[in-house]
Amino acid sequence: MDSSEAVDRRRYARLPLTRAAWWVGCCWLGVLAGSLGAPLAGAEPKRLTTDGRGKYSPVFIDETELVYVDFVKPVLFQIQQMTFPEGRVAPLHTDAKAPELEPAFSRDGRYCAFVQTRGALSLALVIRDRQKNQDADIPPAPGFAGYRSPTFSPDGQRVVYSFAEAGKQSLFSVDIKAQDRRRLSDRPGIDNWPMFSPDGKQIVFGSTRDGNFEIYVMDADGENVRQLTHSPFQDLRPRYSPDGRRIVFTSNRDGNYEVYTMAADGSAVRRITNHPERDDYPTWHPSGDSIVLVSERSGRHDLYQLTVPE
C-alpha cells in the first residue's frame, strides 16, 4: 500500500488468523483525512452498495458482472459477485472457508485468479478454470510468504503477480497451469499491481524502486521500463482503460487519497474525485466511460460508480 507495507506484513505474520484478517483490513483501510484539491464539476457518484463494510479490489468480469472483496466478518474476506447494474450480490465461491483476496479474470471469463489464505502466515495463488471447476495453484513458500495482485494477459495464457523473495518484491508470470515461472522485474523495493495493456504489449505497475510508490510501464517481457508519474507522494494501483488510452490510479498527492486519470504515456493527469475521506481501488467499466471505486463516507466503505469525462 505505501512505504510501510513491508513492516505491516511482518506484523501480520505474527498474528493468529483471526487477528491477521483484522489487521489486513485495517492496513488496507488506512485513511489520510482532509482534501486540498479544488471541487470538481460533475454528477455525484452512484452508490452501488449500502452495507458499509470494508471492500477492496473491484473488477468487472463483463458488463453485467462485477466482483469485489468484502470483509464480511472478522475472520473472513469473501469474494462477492454483483449482477450489474441491478445490484444482486452473492458469494463467488460458496464453498470458500478461508479468506480470498484480489480476484482477477481472463478476458473471456473462463479463468479466475485470486489470493487464498492457507494459514495465519501464508498466502497461495490460485488459478481456477471456472468451466472445468479445476484449480492450479502456487502454494506458499516456507515461512511467511504472500502472493499479490494477479492479472491475466489478454490472451488468457499467462498470469502476472507480485511476490516477495530475497529482500525485494518483484513481478513474475506463470502459465494458467501455475507453471513455467518467469521473473519480469528485479529491482530493490516493491513492485506491485501489474496490469497488461489491452493489446498485451505492455504492463503498467506501481513500484518503490526510486524511493516511493510511482507508476511505471514496461514491455510485456519486462524490458524497456519507463516511469510515468513523478510525485513525492504515493501513486498506487494503476489500471488501463479498456481502449488502452488512459490509466486510472489512486494517489495522495493532494493530501488525501483520491482517484486520478492520466494518458497512457503519463501526461494529462486529472483528478476525478474530491471527498474528505478515502477514494480508492478504481476499476474501469468495460465500456470505458465510468469507473467503480471504493469510497469511504462517514467511516463506512461502499462501492460507487463515477462517470469519467474524456
- Place 109 in a pLDDT band, splitting at 50, 70 and 90: very high
What local confidence, expressed as pLDDT, does residue 43 receive? Answer: 64
| Residue 85 preceded by cis peptide, ω within 30 | yes
What local confidence, expressed as pLDDT, does residue 139 receive? Answer: 92
Whether the per-residue pLDDT at 11 is higher than 70: the answer is no
Ordered domains of the chain (ranges, CATH): 5-307 (2.120.10.30)
Which of residues 248 and 42 earns the better pLDDT score?
248
Whether the per-residue pLDDT at 269 is higher than 80: the answer is yes
Q: Is 82 helix (H, G, I), strand (E, B) or coil?
A: strand
Q: How many angstroms separate the CA atoms of 5 and 168, rounded?
A: 12
What local confidence, expressed as pLDDT, does residue 13 receive? Answer: 35
Whether the per-residue pLDDT at 24 is higher than 80: the answer is no
- Place 36 in a pLDDT band, splitting at 50, 70 and 90: very low
Which of 43-47, 196-200, 298-302 shows the lowest per-residue confidence on average (mean pLDDT)? 43-47
Whether the per-residue pLDDT at 22 is higher than 70: the answer is no
| Edge-to-edge strand ranges of the sheet holding 258-263 | 235-240, 246-251, 258-263, 270-271
- Place 145 in a pLDDT band, splitting at 50, 70 and 90: low
Whether the per-residue pLDDT at 19 is higher than 50: the answer is no
What local confidence, expressed as pLDDT, does residue 208 receive? Answer: 97
Q: How many angstroms separate the CA atoms of 107 and 27, rounded?
A: 30
Identify which of 232, 217, 195 has the alpha carbon closest to the alpha carbon of residue 265.
217
Whether the per-residue pLDDT at 131 is higher than 70: the answer is yes
Residues β-bridged to residue 47: 304
CB-based contacts of 191: which residues, under 8 Å, 6+ apart?
A: 162, 169, 170, 171, 185, 205, 206, 207, 209
Which of 36-50, 101-115, 162-176 shows the lowest per-residue confidence on average (mean pLDDT)? 36-50
Q: How many angstroms separate the CA atoms of 88 and 91, rounded?
A: 11
- Place 120 in a pLDDT band, splitting at 50, 70 and 90: confident
Average pLDDT over residues 22-30: 37
Whether the per-residue pLDDT at 7 is higher than 60: the answer is no
Which of 27-31, 272-276, 305-309 shows the lowest per-residue confidence on average (mean pLDDT)? 27-31
pLDDT one-digit tens code per residue, 54-100: 999 999 999 999 999 999 988 789 999 999 988 999 999 998 888 99
pLDDT one-digit tens code per residue, 41-66: 446 899 999 999 999 999 999 999 99
Average pLDDT over residues 23-45: 42
What local confidence, expressed as pLDDT, does residue 18 receive? Answer: 37
Amino acid at 35: S
Which of residues 122 and 223 earns the better pLDDT score?
223
What local confidence, expressed as pLDDT, does residue 184 receive? Answer: 98
Identify which of 43, 47, 44, 29 has the alpha carbon closest to the alpha carbon of residue 304.
47
Q: For the chain, how big is the Rg over CA atoms in Å?
A: 18
Average pLDDT, the chain: 87
Whether the per-residue pLDDT at 26 is higher than 80: the answer is no
